[in-house]
Every structure is written in structure tokens, then in C-alpha cells.
Structure 1
Amino acid sequence: MRASTVVAALAAAGPLTVVAQNPHALGAQLGFALGTKLPSGACKYTNDYEKDFDAISAQTGSKIVRGYSASDCNFAQQILPAAQNRGFQVILGIWPDEPSSFDADNSAVQQYANQYASAVYAVTVGSETLYRGNFTGAELLQKINTVKSGLPSHIKVGTADSWNKYADGTADALVTGGVDILLINAFAYWQGETVDQATGSHNVYFDDMSQAISHVQQLAGSTTSIEIWNGETGWPTTGGTPYGPAQANTSWAAEYYAKSVCGMLAWGVNVFYFEAFDESWKPASVGDNGQPEDEKHWGAMDDQRNLKPGFSLKCNYLDW
């Protein structure tokens, strides 16, 4: 079932069971967010990304990943040859919040996306920049159009932002301005939900995505003119920081993946899981509550590319 047909169904969807298979076999695409650094904090090179791709492909059959900054650790330069070698595609990211980062990322995109055009699926300009209030929709659209003007016509260009910025109209200028692709981020975890609330009959993740997709498609007057993905979703595993009732542990993360992520895929919505591998080099961040929050333990696999105990990346389906 295509994403364009599922808005009404998402809110009513529930978990499903049986028949393990690779997620990509269901029609929707599963991808993974991918970091730029090794556990030591050193930058990855092409052979490191090839190993990443081999691990992802072996566990899921997935052939697409996304990054956030094309110039960080020479991401575009290093990952695109690996993607071409392994039959993967990449969504490259541009960080537009500062002129220096925009210029560096856009320069990397223009150089390497043209050189490795078959390995580039799309380009996102911004990652939750509307959520942070750094741009209006119209201002961000100008940045997107600047990037798009230098790329081959088959490479989609858009942005990634929080589900509520699509649902509340903040991103309307992008929808009416004709962007090619929108990534909608939705984390039940960051809404302080238990895993039961995040996977059950009143699934907040499905509700968030339904609100965002519905608004975008109604405003666009089309279910097909803009490609839509769930740009990020995930759950931290054991060792992470709890967020209210939302506990960071591997069993909850595995349940969330099996019921909600696989469920979203079953309903035809493309999903990027955050993230493929732990990033043990990352320092703690400070959250909105002023407390330190761990960012090391969001991977479905550990930093040695091993699947975590009790975590399956196969999806179990029979029927809804």
C-alpha cells in the first residue's frame, strides 16, 4: 500500500505478527541514519562505509541511508564511492543554519552528487531547522531552490523536520513551493511515552505521522506530487537516558521497532530508523530540561556493527 493511501488507516493501525522477512520486501523502503565517525571519534573512510553497508544489507536488505552534513568528515566524498560499490543510495544533508556550513555542505553536494549521481537519492536542506525557529518556510525554500539549481534533475531536494512543523502549517511554503521530498521526524520516545503507548492501539507515532501526512497532502492537493518519508524514528537502548516514562532499554527499543516501525512500513510509509549503529564517541548533550542526555545508544547495532541481543531487524507480518 502506498503512503498516499494510508492517512486514514494510520490512526487505527495496530501491531501485527508472524512470518519474518526483510522489511524492504513489503513495498515501502527502510533506510537508516548513519554517522560519520568511528568509535574512536576518527572520521570514517570509504572502506568503513562499505563495512556499514554490508552490515545493514545483511540484517535488513535495505539499500538506502541518510546523513546530515555532506562536508562533515568529508561525508559525501567518502560515502558515495562506497554506495556506488555496494549498490546503495544516500540522502545527503546540508546544514543551512550558518552561512559557513551551508556553503561547505552545498559545495560538497554540488561536486560529489554530480560525480556520483546514481548513488544520490536526494538532498535534504536542513534538519529540524523550522523546529528550532532558524528559518521561516519561505526562507528555507530559497535555500532549497539554490541547492536544486545546481543538481541533476533526477535528484530530489527537500528538507527534514519535526512532524508538528508540517501539521501546524509552519512548513506550508515548502509544500506550495514545489519541493520534491519531505522527511517527517516522529519520536514517541521524545513525547515521554511508554512503549505500550508507543506501540498500542492509540499509537502516538502513527497519530503524529498521520497528522503531518494529511496536512501536506491536503495542501498540495495531491497524494503523489511530494515524496514523503518518516525521516527519523527510533528508541534508545540500554545505557541511554530515560525521558520521563519513556525508558531507554533494548527490549523496549526492539518492541518499538517490531510493532511501530515495521507497522509503518506495512502501511506503505517509507521509514528511516535512527540509527544503524551506536555512536560511542558522542558526548552527552543537554536537553530542554537542563539535564545531560546520552546520545551513544540509539543504534539497532552496536558500534562494532553487531546486532544487539534480542533485537531483530526482520519484520513479522500476517495482516492488520
Structure 2
Amino acid sequence: MRVSGLLPFILATAPAVVSARGTLGFSLGDKNADGTCKSTSDYEADFDNLKDLSTLVRTYSGTECDTPQNILPAAKSKGFKVVLGIWVGSQDKSDMSTNDPSFTKDFAALKATVPGHEDVIEAITVGSETLYRGDLTGPQLHNYISAVQKQFPSTTVGTADSWNKFADGTADDLFTTDTEANPMVTYVLANAFAYWQGTPADKAYKTYFDDMSGAISHIQKIAGSNADKIKVVNGETGWPTDGGSDYEAAKAGTQNAEKSWKTGVCGMLAWGVDLFYFEAYDESWKPNSVGDNGQAMNEKHWGLYTADRKSKFDTSCPN
């Protein structure tokens, strides 16, 4: 199906976004295929391979593999922008402090590496699906984000979470509380995978758009007159290629991944929503994980490219 044909149907009930085409970015792992940590030269090779599609990537941790120390010089030399991540672990729901050990380590790493690299930092995200996992409440997460924003006042700071936590009110505190101590969060990465809802590839684009529409429209409603200050980005989306695991009616495979790209990714960009594809390269070092259905899931084959940077399918978007 042509993107130009499906867009009017999808957008009939979608919230308004900017009219310009969205920006494509990539989630980028910090390890090589053999599990060793990437060096600056490894990131430079990654960037050389991606540059025809994108010059924007996001990361997840401030301390694992010394990611900021290695990726920021590579970004500067290759003309890329990076969204840095700070990990936050679980916390007692009555504890409003910002003393989580994971946060403390990652925050310290960014304090040491961000100065002098502000020109290549697109944003900093605090927490990755912490609300989805139930590790923090909305007010707790807001405190962490505010602490980082205070440290880096000239840098955009936000968070990344599952689309449904923005749509169901779990994250409302991020947009309704706007004080000097806890300013409103203005950068949101909403992760949305039709695959993880068990949607067949030929119907995945509709689930994908419905999910992002739900997150965007609820944030806009809650923020009210401040809605235009908030940038909502699709933080992750993707589809496993050959060698990956099926999830209910969602079948892994390169042809299905290409179909998801042509309809979902191309359509989202045409709508004007920025997105990060999960992920740039296969991570063959990853062990199997257990999915929500209790079955072992192979997560080694989610890359747009193989681990040795070979393209898997045509990435052009229909007119």
C-alpha cells in the first residue's frame, strides 16, 4: 500500500503536529558484535554508514562502556547529534529523593563529559520506560528530570517511556506541574511497537499511528495552552528481521520489517513526527530474553543493518 494512500485515513482523527517532514534517528548500541565495548573509531564507522539516512542517534546509559566519552568525539568529527541517556532504577514509591545508584553514576558521567560537547547533544533523557516497569511514579521521575535540567540549563532534558504511559495519565505530572523546582518537561520520547502488541505486519501501521496519536493527543490535552512547548518524538519503533522471534500474530522476517518500514516509519515521518528506529545495527551479542508471554525472545536481529553494517532492505519511502 502506498503511504500517500493510507495517510488520509490514518490522520483523519490524529492530533495536529508540525507540517514539516519528521526527522529520522536511530537507537545505537554501545557494543560490537562480539560484546566488546565500542571505541570512538567504532562509532565513527557506524556514523559513516548511517550518514546518508540520518545524522541523529540516541543512547541509553552514561556509564556502560563509557558511552559519552567515546561517542561524543565521534559525533563531533562526523557531524552527528546524540541524545544521551541516564538510567534510573527502581525506588520506594514514598521516597522522593534522587539517590538511585544508577542515576548517580550516570549523572556523574555526564557532568564530566557534557561540558565542551553541548553542540553535538540533541537532548538528555532521564529514565527509559521507568513508568512502564513501575520503577518510579510520575512525581519521582519529574524530580530526577528536574535535577538534570538544573545541572544543564542550556540543554534539552526529557524522558523516554512507553506510549501508553503518556496516554493513560501515568506521566501527567510531567506536564501539569510547572514550578521553579520542577519545570514542565518539554521533550518526550514515546516508544511504540505494533510488533509487541502482536499485530500482523500488514496492519501494523494502523496500530502504530493509533498508539502515537493516543500519546500525543493526551499530552496536548493535559498541557493545554503549553502544548506547543512540548516536543513528542517516537522514541523507538521497529520490527525483527530474519532470525528474530515471532510475537503472537506479529511474525519476524525481513519482508515484514520492510513492510513495517514502508508503511509505518515512512508514514510517521510524512506526518511530521520525529522518530528513532530501533535499532541501527543487529546486536548479535545479546542473550535471549523472556517476553511478556513467558517465551524466550531472540533480540539479536532488530537492526536496519547487520552487525557488519550491511543493509537488509530498501529504505526509500514511497511518494
TM normalised by structure 2 equals: 0.88
1:173 matches 2:139: no
Match of 1:278 among 276, 282, 305: 282
Is the contact made by 1:114 and 1:152 (CA closer than 8 Å) also made in structure 2? Answer: no
1:15-47 deviation digits (Å, cap 9, x = unpaired): xxxxxxxxxxx6311000000000010000101
Structure 1 letter corresponding to 2:315: L
2:308 partner SS: coil
| Cα displacement string for residues 149-173 of structure 1 (whole angstroms, at most 9, x for unaligned residues) | 11141x1111111111011000001
Matched to 2:119, the amino acid is S
Distance 2:55 2:9 in 1: 27
2:208 maps to which of 205, 209, 232: 205
Residues 1:9 and 1:64: Cα distance change in structure 2 (over 3 Å) = farther
Q: Distance in 2 between matches of 1:74 and 1:208?
A: 34
Per the alignment, residue 75 of structure 2 pairs with 83
Say which SS state the counterpart of residue 106 (structure 1) adopts: helix
Amino acid at match of 1:316: P
Match for residue 266 of structure 1 among 270, 279, 290 = 270
How far, CA to CA, are the matches of 1:283 and 1:12 in structure 2? 42
**CA distance in structure 2 between the aligned counterparts of 1:10 and 1:151, rounded to whole angstroms:** 38
Match of 1:94 among 86, 102, 116: 86
**How far apart are 1:176 and its partner, in Å?**
1.9
Equivalent residue letter for 2:200: T
**Percent of pairs identical after alignment?**
52
- Which region of structure 1 is more displaced relative to structure 2, 264-273 or 215-224? 215-224
Shift of 1:10: 4.4
Instruction: Note closer, same or farther for the CA distance 1:9–1:130 as it changes in structure 2 (3 Å cut).
Output: farther
What is the deviation of 1:290? Answer: 1.9
Query: In structure 1, which of residues 239, 242, 248 is the aligned counterpart of residue 246 of structure 2?
Result: 242
In the TM superposition, residue 314 of structure 1 has moved relative to its aligned partner by: 2.2
Secondary structure, counterpart of 1:78 in structure 2: helix
Please tell me whether the aligned partners of residues 192 and 243 of structure 1 are also in contact (alpha carbons under 8 angstroms): yes
RMSD: 1.6
Q: Which runs of 5+ in 1 are unaligned?
A: 1-6, 14-25
Aligned residue-pair number: 291
Q: 1:240-292 deviations in whole A, cap 9, x for unaligned?
A: 01001100100000110011101000010001000000000000011122211
Q: 2:21·2:271 contact (CA, 8 Å) conserved in 1? A: no
Counterpart secondary structure, 1:52: helix
Deviation above 6 Å: which 4+ runs of structure 1? none
Task: Report how far residue 298 of structure 1 moved.
Answer: 0.2
Higher relative contact order (CA 8 A, sep 6+): 1
State the shift of 1:12 in Å.
Answer: 4.0
Q: Match of 2:27, as an amino acid?
A: A
| Kept in 2: contact 1:29–1:270 (CA 8 A) | yes
Which consecutive unaligned segments of at least 5 residues does structure 2 have? Answer: 1-6, 14-19, 91-99, 178-183
Cα distance in 1 for partners of 2:153, 2:71 equals 19
